[in-house]
Structure 1
């Protein structure tokens, strides 16, 4: 039995040494893997920080572009309002001058009638005075031209403002 005990103790000793070596190897491998995990986690954290910084920079650039566009649109709207006001003032001035001319033409027609223009052929009662008819037609044509000019001015101001707004919204690099 003694031989069996000696073999057992030797086997047990060898098994103990093997187990110790295995445990030491396991621990060393764990430390090595732990260091790799720490390195990978650090690399991932650095990558996340980089992505967060890029996202913040992109967000800031988008915010700055939006502020630029908004300021540009506000400036265009203000300029268009000033142009519209100037066009309306010009239209009012032209209308006042046209009204003065209509009054002057009416005075001239009244003076001509009062002078008794004997050279004019007598027309029927329904036809009226040719000078009155001409004065009325010219007055209405002038008034219509004034309305069309006001409409054209408004359309021009709106079109130019729209064009400038579009240009302001497109990137400056194009």
Structure 2
């Protein structure tokens, strides 16, 4: 009879231990699932933030391109204005030639050369300014993209 009581007590103790282990295991699974869900949510939020940053960089690059294009158009207009002034100068040259005839032909040649050089230099300056502006804009966009991706969350 004592053996039966001891056996029943041992069985009850083991049943209690199994129930405790099952409860611990259920708690562990719940904690693991919660941690996985939190990590997934954190990763999703970080990805959204990075995507918003990249989208903002793209929008800023588009805005900057519009501003740079407007500036390039203004520079082209200035170039055309200088070219028109040069043409007027060359048109007035005939009038000037009559007044400068006594000074010799070298002045006439020099005026032609200077007018042509001024026009060409202005044209090249406009082309270089547009190329440098585009290069600068691309560099800034690249830098902002890198910063947006490497920023700590």
Q: Kindly state the Cα deviation for residue 28 of structure 1 after the two structures are TM-superposed.
A: 2.2
1:30 aligns with 2:11: yes
Rg bigger for which structure? 1
**1:153 equivalenced with 2:126 (yes/no):** no
How many matched pairs? 149
Report how far residue 134 of structure 1 moved.
Answer: 1.8
Q: Distance in 2 between matches of 1:130 and 1:95?
A: 26
Q: 1:130 to 1:84 in 2, by over 3 A?
A: same
Shift of 1:120: 4.7
Bigger mean CA offset, 45-54 vs 151-160: 151-160
Q: Structure 2 stretches of 5 or more lacking a match?
A: none
Aligned match of 2:143: 163
Q: What is the aligned partner in structure 1 of residue 61 from structure 2?
A: 80
Tell me, in whole angstroms, the C-alpha distance in 2 between the residues paired with 1:120 and 1:134. 17
State the distance in 2 between where 1:120 and 1:139 align.
25
Aligned to 2:36: 55
Q: Which has the higher helix share?
A: 2
Distance change (3 Å), C-alpha of 1:74 and 1:120: farther
Answering whether residue 87 of structure 2 is matched by residue 106 of structure 1, we say yes
Q: Which residue is 1:121 aligned to?
A: 104
Please list the CA deviations of residues 24-47 of structure 1 after superposition, one character each: whole Å capped at 9, or x if unmatched: 422321221111011111111101
Render the CA deviation track for 1:44-78: whole Å, top value 9, x for unaligned.
11011111111111110110111011011101111
Higher RCO (C-alpha 8 Å, min separation 6): 2
Q: Where does structure 1 lack aligned partners over 5 or more consecutive residues?
A: 1-19
Query: Mean alpha-carbon deviation: is it higher for 56-65 or for 21-30?
Result: 21-30
TM-score (norm 2): 0.86
Q: TM-score, normalised by structure 1?
A: 0.77
Equivalent position of 2:110 in the other structure = 130
Task: Please state how far the C-alpha of 1:165 moved relative to its aligned partner.
Answer: 2.1
Q: Which residue of 2 aligns with 1:96?
A: 77
Match in the other structure for 1:9: none
Within the candidate set 119, 123, 148, 1:143 is matched to 123
Deviates more, 1:36-45 or 1:162-171: 162-171
